Chains A and B, each alone.
Chain A
Amino acid sequence: MASDVPSPSPAPSSHPLAPAPYFVRRQTAETGDTNTLVLAPMDGGPVPPALPGQFNMLYVFGVGEAAISLSGDPTDSTQVVHTVRNAGRITAALAQLPPGKAVGVRGPYGRGWPVDAAAGRDVVLMAGGLGLPPLRPVLYHFLSHRAQYGRIEVVYGARTPKDLVYYDQIQEWRQRSDLRFQVTVDAADRSWYGDVGLVTARIPDVRFEPGNTIAFLCGPEIMMKYAARDLEARGIPRSSIWISMERNMKCAVGICGHCQFGPEFVCRDGPVFRYDVVRDWLAAREI
């Protein structure tokens, strides 16, 4: 064909909402319904830089997309780590992907945890259920810059011992002398020697200097609501408490409307919010 034949201008190859191809490096079971996926770009390139608390849209070819928090080490530019609970069509498809299989990734999106604001202060991390994975990157960050922070207190609660994620890593964290990591479960049989009770029940035992503490909470809304209330009662100002919200998301860029929470788009203005900004919405019904 003659080279001077005009051809229609080629379609742009990438859409801002098109996923980039990654592959599954590893998939490990955390609990009966929750897996951790390690994903790396197909082209061998680096992953886009992400902040602790941000999320990606994970895509399974022919199935669809779901918003999943990043839960790996934020300084690792070779791969992304996501801990996913098998709770729907897309997450079920993700859970079935063996190593080598393609996964689409777009992101990272949203605002993360304000790690800079934590410098020089005591830090309280409270996680309920699958609230630990979105907090793990921030814990990695704190531990790799340990000297910049005061006390680090982590409280992690799950329904039962079988629902605890990152079990082996938690054992390691619990051995450390520069970090206090408490674990509690709502219910347990006699094989469990740890605490039993809600995460909020551990709050009286968490040590911090109230006027110089920042708290990051992630878990079910009801857990965050009561944990924030109790931390406030112990003297942490509302403006020093941060929570991570979850909503249905389709676009992740603030145009599909699904994730609205009061005036906020959780995908764009969150998922991490300062508690005093969203407190009224958290208190109201069906927002």
Chain B
Amino acid sequence: MTAASPAAGDRFLLDRRDFSAFLTSIRTAGYRIVGPTVRDGAIVYGDIQAESDLPIGWTERQDAGRYRLERRSDQALFGYVVGPHSWKKYLFPSHERLWTATRDGPTFAVISEPSDPTPLAFLGVRACELAALKITDKVFMGGIPDPSYSARRTRVLRVAVQCGQAGGTCFCVSMGTGPGVTSDYDLSLTEILTEGRHEFLVAVGTEAGGSVLRSVPLRPPTDEADRTVTAIVAHTASSMGRSMDPTGLRDLLLSNPDHPRWERVAKRCLSCTNCTMACPTCFCHTTEEVPSLDAEKTERWRRWDSCFNLEFTKLHATPVRASSSSRYRQWLTHKLGSWHDQFGTSGCVGCGRCITWCPVAIDITEEVAALRVPPPAPTPGGGH
């Protein structure tokens, strides 16, 4: 390669055998690489020390309430979609100390939690997840910037991957977030795996992305590779496991607080909070005060919370949303409806995690379809 850094808009081919060199180059640039890895029977996000940490040759089968890892017939590095984790766990950890206070005579002194200065490289960010990052950026950085989220977020390198296949619960096409990676990335990879060829088309999105490619062996892109990549994305787009009509969703949700479907779904919903934990955009959290035993020091922690928890709306010892139906309604109405009012976007990116990880297989796309059916008009005498 030449000494000059590749610039935004540049495209290259990276051979599979040089993928390790690519990872080394990212690490040499000072990043801690995190990405997909197999743990406890699922593909989750963790530290990537070497390419062997990636789920090479693995894929998964997903459906409502179902997730199973399976072996692929090839050695693809990114031959799967998204698992139970999302990148929010790095930017907005599930449990995080915000500040520590110590007694100081009659008063107290508060020290903010210092942020870890190590920049993170997110390896394998899917198109829906890039959209989710944009959404959580609005939540945590749109008003008074949250110090810990902002400190981490501004140092993240987004190495995106265009999905080569769709999962059984994927519906990014419906939500307009994927599967093609078109913006908001530093680098974007597409894995090309055909007979005799295993390579990646690499698109440079930003200067930061280009700078980590400086010492990586790269080739110029070919027309054939471009055609293959276009076909891969088109194939993924045409094989979505789910679909959801997003037309008028905000108004539909906000105008239907009394739809009978809420009671029906509440009969199944366990209020387990899995959907909100797995969702890449759910941001609700609570705070915890953790005093030392001698009461001289105390810590303020932030912990993921969920609108499905009864405690979530507790006011004067009584929850405002006492019924499961009101809590499910809050989650879905917020996610697809009032999110627009609050952040100018839907809160749903079509990743399908809430469907897959629901223990009773509640399917957001099915619920929306049911809510689109107008409730039966009350008929005098109850006749038809």
Contact = CB atoms under 8 A, between A and B. Distances in A.
Contact of B106 (A23, A253, A258): A23
A13 B326 CA distance: 41
B348 to A, nearest CB: 16
B289 A14 contact: no
Contacts of B147: 12, 15-16
Contacts, number: 133
B286 A250 contact: yes
Interface string A10-35: 01111111110101000000000000
Interface residues of A, number: 44
A256 B111 contact: no
A254 interface: yes
A13 B109 CA distance: 9
Given A23-B107, A250-B285, A256-B284, A15 B99 contact: yes
B140 interface: yes
A263 B286 contact: no
B237 to A, nearest CB: 32
Interface in B316-361: 316-317, 320-323, 326, 330, 334, 337-338, 341-342
* Dominant SS among interface residues on chain B: mixed
B313 interface: yes
Residue among A16, A102, A254, A286 with the most chain B CB within 10 A?
A286
Interface in B288-305: 289, 291, 295, 298, 300, 305
A263 B107 contact: no
Contacts of A87: 316-317
B334 A253 contact: no
Interface in B71-100: 98-99
A24 B314 CA distance: 27
Contacts of B341: 263
Nearest to B296: A62
Interface residues of B, number: 51
A250 B307 CA distance: 13
A157 B108 CA distance: 39
A239 interface: no
Residue among B108, B298, B305 with the most chain A CB within 10 A?
B108
8 pairs of A and B residues whose beta carbons are closest in the complex: A257-B284, A286-B326, A62-B291, A263-B338, A263-B341, A11-B114, A15-B112, A18-B110
15 contacts: A11-B111, A12-B147, A15-B110, A17-B98, A23-B107, A42-B106, A61-B295, A255-B139, A255-B146, A257-B283, A258-B286, A258-B312, A260-B334, A265-B342, A286-B326
Given A11-B113, A104-B110, A255-B143, 20 more contacts: A15-B110, A17-B98, A18-B112, A21-B108, A23-B107, A61-B295, A62-B295, A247-B313, A247-B320, A248-B320, A250-B287, A254-B143, A255-B139, A257-B284, A260-B334, A263-B254, A284-B258, A286-B323, A286-B326, A287-B321
Interface of A: 8, 11-19, 21, 23, 42, 61-65, 87-88, 100-102, 104, 246-248, 250-251, 253-258, 260, 262-263, 265, 268, 284-287
